[in-house]
Structure 1
Amino acid sequence: MKKRGLAAAAVCIALIGAVWAGWPEPAGDQVWAYQKLQPADYRLLHSDALGFVTAKADEGFELHTRYAGVTSFEIRCKGVLVMDVENAPSRVLIRVPADALTRAPDIERLRLSFERWLDYHQSQGALLVQSAGTSWIEALLGRFIGAVPDGQRCPTRA
């Protein structure tokens, strides 16, 4: 009887290990890179982000400028980073953490407006780098399995 119990426990442990090993890794951050902006153009991008955050302040959005030279800012939703924009020496980098679309779906609209603006205002504003992110099914399932607690989510308004 004792051997059967140990064998059942060993089978359960092996099954749990197999499921754990086969579980997909969480998706990484998405990063987009564009040509470096002139200071005046970067201020326009920053101003657009400030307008977005001001309109959604009651939903928990905040804008934080990271450096005194105003070369980088981040947008937070209820204190959690959902977008990071940097006018680096070589290019503009826009980073969106993996859980940002679940936490704050409206951030995608802002990112798309940045993308359209950057493509339009740069003579060769093509997308240089884009890392793989979550698939639409992962994002959908993430909402249903409670990947981000409702109290930490910034709601979307139509």
Structure 2
Amino acid sequence: MPSSIYANEFDICVSISDLVSWVEDEHTPNTDLAAALSLAGIDLDLAKLYDCYIEGTPIGTGDVHVYSSELNKSLLVMDLYRGLTDQLDLVSASLRLDTDLVESLLPRLRRFFDAADCQVLFRQSNHSQQLRSLLDQSRYPSPVDESGYRQHLIFQF
């Protein structure tokens, strides 16, 4: 009997501003995304990532960051390149969830995306080509045609 194939990989593209929620002049991590990442065992401060992107990543630069779980097989890969003409500050994320977590985390990921102001992509599959491409260490440093920037793969621990 064939084993089950789990659609436990996700590609998501939204604006960096969708990763946080604003109350007056203060921003906090988006609750649904922060909860999903926390339950997956991925330690990432979304508000700090937002600040680093907005204040510390010049246009025409930005690297690919990998965040992995120490608890299970989950991992998150974020492409933080800032395009020269991108006025929406789009970021791409590829996420692999431990198969035991998909059922419980999918509603949170959907709520996060459905509430995003800039909904570009939400794809769930059992094999994300984007995820594999971003994780392919042989392609780094990867030149970005429009700016000449050489993008690096950075593992966050």
Structures share fold, TM-score greater than 0.5: no
Q: Which has the higher contact order (CA 8 A, sep 6+)?
A: 2
Larger radius of gyration: 1
TM-score (ref. length: structure 2): 0.40
TM-score, normalised to structure 1, is: 0.40
